[in-house]
Structure 1
Amino acid sequence: MSTTLAHAPELDLASPLPPVPAQRTAEDRSRTVFRLGELFSGPGGIGMGANLASIADPAYGIVHQWSNDFDADTCRTYARNVMGDVDSPDVICGDIRTLDFEHLAGRGDIDGLAFGFPCNDFSQIGERRGFDGTFGPLYTYGVKALRMFRPAFFLAENVGGLASNKEGDAFARILEDMRAVGYRLTPHLYKFERYGVPQARHRIIIIGIREDLDVRFEVPSPAPYEHADVSARTALADIPEWAAHQEPTRQSATVIERLNLIRPGQNVFTADLPERLQYRTRTQISQLYRRLHPDEPSYTVIGAGGGGTHVYHWEEPRALTNRERARLQTFPDDFTFEGGKGSVRKQIGMAVPVAGARVIFEAILRTFAGEPYETVRPSFPRVG
């Protein structure tokens, strides 16, 4: 494990943590509107979930203060849809490794922080390089922001493979660093199809509550959503003609012939295909030319990959459109992505489902408001 990459010296995560002023503690205990900052914001799955979050007490809500992401199209998408202004100065576009955090501070203080730190090096697909990869150490910038801004809560998100990467050492190290800057942690593996999302997307979400606050976050139960229709058929029904991003993907004659022989729920490896239509790869990726089953949630929508990874319709021999993929990620139909077709696909695949993020933010608001809600035991031990 590369500790040099995981702990860049300029982050200074080891120096003593100053106490939270008593006045700040009192303010956060009585706060009803929480100003949210977001790092690695993506196109706005988490941001839109925060926008839509509401509880019984209408005084409680979340407003957006600032965000940062590296990709220009992604930043403009977030600015347009979450901030309401495609040129919003509160969306700072640039590499977080060179970002001046004082510039973020200049955009305003925050009461909550969200950061879906890049998952590439922790994903089950690929080399799983963890801290030794390019992206693994980037979570430390979220920890740096926690130390600098001391928000009342934070939400950190990553792939389910984080917990098993390097036999769990990476996950333990990340939790240790988050705890070290003064937060009690509730990590949980959320299976979003159990929360009303029409997609089997599993993500580790870590909720941190600053340790001077006498509130305890509980994982929201999926029980209220047990009868929700999360089928692909329902998710992709009745898309209005005016909704953007409905351009079809061209399919070759060979791909069409192959898809016509793959039944709903099957992929290129499980279908009974003639030899000329079979696929030869070193590893058998289950998503390759996998067709949706109309009566089940979609499999995980991804943001990158070549032919055969675009998610395929159960009946028509074609890949889904970007709008259909956005539906599976529960983006509203009036959510417009910036950039070309490939860029839009990437943004959709990298996002957190809007409806899933909303469930978690509403649980956070209820925690601070003292509103009861159904809960379940966290899938990982609490820290702190």
Structure 2
Amino acid sequence: MKFKLGELFCGPGGLAYGAMKAKIDNEEFGIIHQWATDYDRSTCDTYIHNICPQHPETVICEDVRKLDIDSLPPIDALAFGFPCNDYSLVGEQKGINGTYGPLYTYGVKALKSHRPMWFLAENVGGIRSANEGKAFEMILSELEQAGYKIYPHLYKFEQYGVPQARHRVIIIGIRKDLPYEYKVPSSEPYKDIDVSVRTALENPPIPADAPNHELTKQSAIVVERLKHIKPGENAWTAELPEHLRLNVQGAKLSQIYKRLDPDKPAYTVTGSGGGGTHIYHYAEPRALTNRERARLQTFPDDFVFIGSKESVRRQIGMAVPCKGAQVIFEAVLKTFAGIPYESVPCNLLE
């Protein structure tokens, strides 16, 4: 069974790449691209270039609110990492009341229209507490009412071979009329994988001519400030001379000018943010290149991101790590193939 995958809010292709790489012992089972949609042109171009270069027409670049979901080709599986802006703990957390909060309903609409055998929905951990937890309860309820057994779990991707502390709520749904029960894959088989930043960025070294590997221009004061910040420290915890301190009132985000600790997984790669939020190298006084950020998201070096440097930064930060996605998709394939695997109970707690 080759599951035809449709994607809403497809991003640059982290989920799709993980889906296409997903392999199990029973080679009859796999996942193939059917269609994808996103509203951003550069993001769609990146997806086309890497996922379906022979079939650019299968990627629809349109606002989901204007999309004719019913007319899309039939699918066996649906993936949607619906926009997290209104659920992120970093933002205002408007939840269901924000501009982006209600966009999950288009995933529900696609499920009702196309009746795929299973789905994967993804969002930030903060979704659990938005609107005092009511938003998440409502989303789970609507997914279930669409006709699916649901399996929500907080995945800590650094436990699954990803060199980054990235915690995401992922909901797997299996159609209620099907006799399959999904189980969350255990992280035990991945416990010996080195997820340190140093290994991720240096082994093997990134080729000098790798795509998206341009350095960010750093001002002299930023370079000087970074020289005073040790690996693992940030602008608040480092002992900075008076003229290099930040004059900021109120919230002091721990990620500001934070240098990576080479012996630990990276902190979460984000898609936006102003000065001091670019993720900083442990050995050199500079921000990471987009290619280095892509490595932390487990994209291969030949995965080319298309668009301006800021657009590429956003695409990488919004993506699901390819290797994390692959682990989950392989568990789904094993579920349908009847292949047992190590599992843990669903858990939404930190």
Both proteins in one fold, TM over 0.5: yes
Residue 160 of structure 2 aligns with an amino acid whose one-letter code is Y
Q: Which blocks of at least 5 consecutive residues in structure 2 are unaligned?
A: none
Of 165-174 and 211-220, more deviation after overlay is shown by 165-174
Which residue matches 2:51?
Answer: 82
2:38 to 69, 80, 88: 69
Q: Deviations over 1:302-351 (max 9, x none)?
A: 11011100000001000000000000000011000111111100100000
3-state SS of paired residue (2:135): helix
Residue 53 of structure 1 aligns with an amino acid whose one-letter code is A
2:5 to 36, 45, 55: 36
CA distance in 1 between partners of 2:192 and 2:246 (Å): 38
1:347 partnered with 2:315: yes
2:148 to 171, 183, 192: 183
In the TM superposition, residue 157 of structure 1 has moved relative to its aligned partner by: 0.1
2:265 to 287, 297, 302: 297
Contact 2:153 2:169 in 1 (8 A): yes
In the TM superposition, residue 244 of structure 1 has moved relative to its aligned partner by: 0.2
TM alignment of 1:81-100, pairs within 5 A: 81-85=50-54, 88-100=56-68
1:262 to 219, 229, 239: 229
Distance 1:253 1:380, change over 3 A: closer
Contact 2:169 2:348 in 1 (8 A): no
CA distance in 1 between partners of 2:332 and 2:295 (Å): 25
Runs of 4+ deviating beyond 6 Å: none
Distance 1:306 1:380, change over 3 A: closer
1:232 partnered with 2:184: no
1:55 partnered with 2:21: no
Which residue matches 1:150?
Answer: 115
3-state SS of paired residue (2:173): strand
CA distance in 1 between partners of 2:201 and 2:106 (Å): 37
1:280 partnered with 2:247: yes
Residue 204 of structure 1 aligns with an amino acid whose one-letter code is V
Residue 66 of structure 1 aligns with an amino acid whose one-letter code is W
Residue 252 of structure 1 aligns with an amino acid whose one-letter code is S
CA distance in 2 between partners of 1:224 and 1:328 (Å): 20
Q: Deviations over 1:225-254 (max 9, x none)?
A: 101000000100111233201100011111
In the TM superposition, residue 77 of structure 1 has moved relative to its aligned partner by: 0.5
CA distance in 1 between partners of 2:308 and 2:188 (Å): 39
1:310 to 275, 278, 281: 278
Which residue matches 1:13?
Answer: none
Aligned residues between the structures: 346
In the TM superposition, residue 100 of structure 1 has moved relative to its aligned partner by: 1.1
Residue 201 of structure 2 aligns with an amino acid whose one-letter code is L
CA distance in 2 between partners of 1:338 and 1:315 (Å): 28
3-state SS of paired residue (2:216): coil
In the TM superposition, residue 102 of structure 1 has moved relative to its aligned partner by: 3.4
3-state SS of paired residue (2:127): helix
What is the aligned-residue identity percentage? 60
CA distance in 2 between partners of 1:102 and 1:214 (Å): 26
Of 328-337 and 277-286, more deviation after overlay is shown by 277-286
3-state SS of paired residue (2:71): helix
TM alignment of 1:64-213, pairs within 5 A: 64-85=33-54, 88-104=56-72, 108-213=73-178
1:359 partnered with 2:327: yes
Residue 91 of structure 2 aligns with an amino acid whose one-letter code is G
In the TM superposition, residue 168 of structure 1 has moved relative to its aligned partner by: 0.9
In the TM superposition, residue 101 of structure 1 has moved relative to its aligned partner by: 1.5
Residue 351 of structure 1 aligns with an amino acid whose one-letter code is A
TM-score under structure 2 length normalisation: 0.97
